[in-house]
Structure 1
Amino acid sequence: MIRISPRLKRETAVSYLFLLPALSFFLIFVLFPIFRGIYVSFFDYGLRKFTFIGFGNYVRLFRDPIFLKSLANTFMLVAGTVPLILLFSIFVAANIYTKKPAVRSFFRGVFYLPAVSSIVSITVVWGWIYHPLYGILNYVSEFVGIIKEPIAYLGDERYALAAVSAVLLTASVGQPVVLYTAALENIPLSMIEAAEMDGASDWQIFTFIKWPALLPTTLYILIISTINSFQCFSLIQLLTAGGPNFATSTIMYLVYERSFTLYQFGYSSAMGIILGLCIASISILQYAFLGRDTSC
């Protein structure tokens, strides 16, 4: 039998005491709500009713045209923003990481500023940019001849989701730019110089030296950006409230609306479970395709 020294026991007990606040928070505010949500999703749960209906909420979901439209909007939002976040962040990082430290710090600060700014202030600014009468976007577009009359970007079904996606993009590139810049700085300069002396082009250097070194960072950014895009809520609530005609409604916004406006807690819990399954499935696929090539 292995004997454990009293000192090791004391250190272990102290370690668990330090972990206790974070562990308690996780159990109470993360794990318990997840299992409670799964449980509630099998009930017709409102203000004055709590009736077991089995998979009734899930069957109802996939017969609900509003939910199906919100599901499609959610996937379009993710598909339209996540690749652009990756490409734009790599482009910016590749162009600033060789600059002087002061220049790098300036650009990293500029791109990271929206990440530490209030989401309310960001949406207010973009609301004025998109304003159909006084917005600078319409003014500049009319001035250069792109459009002939003002466009209600947030009030037109054709443009509303793209307009929200643009705001989400600008608010999401800060952290990826910083991470990619740091990852590029960690690539040994001698490897790049040796490749240049051997006649490798910039594209070959990026493909065979830089990109493999960026894969672990890319995997992390890809998963985090996907999760954040799936959970986009504040921008939609403040800019469009899901309109016009549910053109910008997402699952996350619909969960909020069904829970706190219509008090359909069981139905909204089923939506949350479907959203969680979508996020988990896509994250697993992303890790399956990129994780095997990383050193994480």
Structure 2
Amino acid sequence: MKLITKLDQIAATAPCSLALGTFDGLHRGHMAVIHAAAAPGPGLEYWEPAVFTFESSPSGVCSVVTPRDKERLLETAGIRRLYSMRFSEVREMEARTFAEEVLFRKCRAKRLCCGEDFRFGRGAAGDVSLLQRFCLENGVELFVVPPVLEDGEKVSSTRIRAAVEAADIPLANRLLGRPFGFSLEVIHGNHIGTGLGTPTINQAIPDNFVLPKFGVYASWVRVGGKYFAGVTNIGLKPTVGSDRVLSETWMPDFSGDLYGKRVRLFLLRFLRPEKKFGSLQELKEEISKNARQAKEIARACPPPGFGLETCNFSRQS
């Protein structure tokens, strides 16, 4: 997949079938738009599947997918060209200029796919009906994807953020259509876990990423293509202290050095809130208890793999 991050990097290329949106979650609703752009059809075999999006949400809200995971999910879905721009590059463009000069001329879009609530142009003045008019004038096909519903409500990044922040991971997973998680570099911590016999991997939660409710979770961790059940604490580690929000995970069945490596972690279920213990021995006993709980939960949900595969996220999970 080719990544283009600036307007002046866009060069004349093959025509494309272009999905439009912020795609700050790549949830089931977003993926319906992506799949519409990537789906084969009469004439579409000559149009390269592509996405036009922004590196971060224009509204400033936190994403529920990291930039690297976003790229990998799109590539897995069949996207071959990704325009990921800074919003400032197009913020002052009038709606017609954006459509005709950027989408039609620069990107060479022959087919556009978007959701019903797609907006574009300065001040978000353009809507789907205006985009349809521009497409008709320029001989471009427009496919508007209806919303995807869960429990009678539209699937949205707002709902997923609320679920993650409330530690309702099963709901977040159902809305996403895949396990909620992240791929982040393993960094050095204070090595307290090693001294307790429960060595952990530490990953710093990025500032622009949704912040799960502080506490302990059952998790799956992917290391070298293999999956290990984990018990993950997200927060500020009140017993030993931390100056930043960390994801700290112990995998009882794994041993090895992962410092500096990027490790993928999926949260499965919330076990308990963060708690300050009176001693490190109390902390060790609780971690061991939580690890047993996490293994039981992990056994009920097989490792998900990466991409568009899903666990069986039942309402009882």
Whether these two folds match at TM > 0.5 is no
Q: Which of structures 1 and 2 has the larger relative contact order (alpha carbons within 8 angstroms, sep 6+)?
A: 1
- Structure with greater strand percent: 2
Q: Quick check: which has more Rg, 1 or 2? A: 1
Q: TM-score, normalised by structure 2?
A: 0.23
